[in-house]
Structures are given as C-alpha cells and as structure tokens.
C-alpha cells in the first residue's frame, strides 16, 4: 500500500462525509452485516415503544382508584354487610380492591391470617404491574453493545476492503465505511437510552402504585381493629 499524506487524506475524508447522506443510503452502503444490525436495533426500538405504551396504560388504569373506596368498605364491614363489601371490591377493578377482597373473605379468622392472605395477593398484583418491564432493562443494556458490535465489525470490514484495494486508497471509500460503522453505535445508544428512560419511568410508576396499595391495606387492617359501635 502506498504512503498517503495524512493531512490531505483527512481533508478529503471530511469533505466526503460532509455530503448529505440519507438513512436509506447508509443502510444500503453498510453491507449485509451493518444493515442487519440496524434492522435489529430498529426492531428493538419498536418493541421498547410497544412495551412502554402497553405497560404505561396498564399501570395508569390500575392506579386509578376511588378515594372513597376504603370509607365505603369501612361502613359496609361495620354494618355487617360482608357480601356487599365483597361485591364493591369486585366492581372496583383495582389491585388494592382485589387485595382487600381477600381480606374481607377471611374476616372472623386471626388477623395474622388475614394479613398474610392480603400480602400473598399483593405479591401477585405487583408481579402483574411489573410484567415485561425487565425487557426494557435488557434492551437498554443490549442495544448499545449491539451497535458497538456493528461498529467494530464494520471497521474491520472497511479496513479489510481497503487493504485489498490496489493502488492509492480512495478517501471517500475510507470515510464512508467509518461513517456507516459509527452510525450503528449512535443508533444503539439512541435505542438503549430510550429504553433506559422508559424503564425507569415505569419503575417509578410501579413504586407509586405499590405505595398506594400498601396505604390502602394499612387502612383496611385499621378498620378491622376498630371497635364496632
């Protein structure tokens, strides 16, 4: 390979990369491996958006509760209307209502047994809220590594092609290969950061819902300890 003036090569590389290149052109010029990496990242990005929207709507629906719910339960329990209290829980369709229902069905048994029953139901409700959220954590970690893999392999393929090119190296060929290879890292970071933000936002919403559930259960146990007039 002939010696190349580094200053001239750098200037020509910057000039060639300054030309406008569309995403479709970059995907097409990236070869089969680079194109595959970008397609995988695009699929992961769509999957992350789907998970975020689906989980957000589900958590939001579960978090919507009637502020008078526990007061209505207190009145029904104190009046001895256990069946009516159970029906109210079943009509409410919230995690805390399903937990309270388990406790109401065991009224008359030791308070420890009631509390354990509510806690077991609570674990199931928390699992439902957290369902599939860990996939976002996985995507947030995997996407940047996949993008970096595309960059490393793209650089290897680019320099291998240059090494096999007789005569003087075409700066446009070199800059184009590097440009496309770095694009996979950028794409991986975009997907990873997005999934990371989605994950932490949903975790915050779940924690808020869990706190709400714990507060409602505490109020219900206080109801059971209250003297009936």
The tens digit of pLDDT for each residue in 207-221 reads 999 999 998 888 888
Are 68 and 215 in contact by the 8 Å Cβ rule? The answer is no
Claim to verify: residue 84 and residue 46 sit in the same structural domain: no
Give the pLDDT confidence of 107-150 residue by residue, as tens digits.
888 888 989 999 999 999 999 999 999 999 999 999 999 999 88
Task: Reduce the secondary structure of the chain to three states and give it as a string.
Answer: CCCCCHHHHHHHHHHHHCCCCCHHHHHHHCHHHHHHHHHHHHHHHHHHHHHHHHHHHHHHHHHCCCCCHHHHHHHHHHCCCHHHHHHHHHHHCCHHHHHHHHHHCCECECHHHHHHHHHHHHHHHHHHHHCCHHHHHHHHHHHHHHHHHHHHHHHHHHHHHHHCCCCCCCHHHHHHHHHHHHHHHHHHHHHHHHHHHHHHHHHHHHHHHHHHHHHHHHHHHHHHHCCCC
Claim to verify: residue 35 and residue 74 sit in the same structural domain: no
Q: How many domains does the chain have?
A: 2
More confident residue, 70 or 28: 70
Which pLDDT score, from 0 to 100, does residue 67 have? 80
Does residue 172 lie within any of the structural domains?
yes
With CA atoms as reference, report the closest residue to 221 among 136, 127, 149, 114: 114
Claim to verify: residue 88 and residue 156 sit in the same structural domain: no
Claim to verify: residue 30 and residue 115 sit in the same structural domain: no
What whole-number distance in Å separates Cα of residue 100 and Cα of residue 90?
10
Claim to verify: residue 205 and residue 172 sit in the same structural domain: yes
Does residue 155 lie within any of the structural domains?
yes
Claim to verify: residue 149 and residue 83 sit in the same structural domain: no
- Tell me the residue range of the domain where 54 lies: 23-60+134-215
The answer, yes or no, to whether residue 167 has pLDDT greater than 70, is no
Does residue 229 lie within any of the structural domains?
no
């Amino acid at each position: 390979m002939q010696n190349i003036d580094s200053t001239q090569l750098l200037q020509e590389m910057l000039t060639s990369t300054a030309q406008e290149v569309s995403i479709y052109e970059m995907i097409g010029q990236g070869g089969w491996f680079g194109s595959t990496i970008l397609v995988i990242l695009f699929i992961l990005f769509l999957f992350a958006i789907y998970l975020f929207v689906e989980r957000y709507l589900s958590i939001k629906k579960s978090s919507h509760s009637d502020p008078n719910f526990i007061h209505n339960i207190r009145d029904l329990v104190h009046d001895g209307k256990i069946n009516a209290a159970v029906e109210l829980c079943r009509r409410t369709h919230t995690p805390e209502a399903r937990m309270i229902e388990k406790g109401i069905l065991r009224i008359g048994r030791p308070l420890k047994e009631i509390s354990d029953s509510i806690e077991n139901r609570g674990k199931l409700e928390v699992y439902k809220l957290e369902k599939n959220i860990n996939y976002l954590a996985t995507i947030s970690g995997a996407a940047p590594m996949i993008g970096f893999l595309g960059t490393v392999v793209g650089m290897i393929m680019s320099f291998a092609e240059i090494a096999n090119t007789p005569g003087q190296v075409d700066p446009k060929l070199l800059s184009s290969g590097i440009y496309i290879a770095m694009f996979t890292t950028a794409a991986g970071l975009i997907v990873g950061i997005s999934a990371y933000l989605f994950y932490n936002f949903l975790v915050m919403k779940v924690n808020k819902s869990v706190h709400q559930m714990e507060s409602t259960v505490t109020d219900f146990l206080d109801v059971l300890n209250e003297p009936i007039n």
